[in-house]
Structure 1
């Protein structure tokens, strides 16, 4: 039995094999596409990936609470007196040594943005709202186990191992910050 070959030397069977492999490849890609796309974050997760805050109404010495990724966020406008006090603290006196300049951004040294979660066991410290206990150092106080933070969010006393976390944030204007 002689094999039928076309003018270019390709057999009919070769064409069927190429067509079958091509169809299988397209079918595999169509099957994998929904599996891969379902691994992408949902719209509600993407919506919470960043938070934009208008800080124009915060007076010196005042703080606001917001929510970022389902956790409390504290934004505080420091007074000149608080800035001077925090800059005067020797780094050797701190458990987790960080200067105020390391915790704020250039040009906005009076704005402190921290996560409102105690680094000991995850409680929410007091001190961001008017009339709340601010602890021995005038910043934040965690009522769960007695951690005291200064007005720069640095741990000063108690069981918390590290300072309040400073999330990634940027100023989109002089009065608006985007966290995340």
Structure 2
């Protein structure tokens, strides 16, 4: 008969470590790039969300700042995921760290989606001086709707862990 011991998710831990370090390195390079272009007179030729940027101005700085904020929130969500997954290696379930970590991951993913939507809405106002509204359903894993669903799933998982913790504590009291 097989034991019901939770096996540590080694592959998930490794994958999260790789994602964390690569996205962190990417963020550092983007930050250095932004500082470099801010303090030099080299002409800028970039595209942000389908908008061609030719000069470094306040609108460009706000757009870059929002993209850096979105990236930072995502990297922090991956960092918290790493902490939660590492807590599974201790073979304990329904700990306060796991419950609060799952909730925070969900909130961070939802905030990144909201900031991305705000950026999509405000960039046409800033660069084209017109208001555009619309929605699209992207069928990839990079879709804002998919990431929003994953964020809501983490919130639901947090509530399930919280409920399971209360049942576990109640069961421990009766034994």
What's the TM-score once normalised by structure 1's chain length?
A: 0.24
Larger radius of gyration: 1
Greater percentage in strand? 1
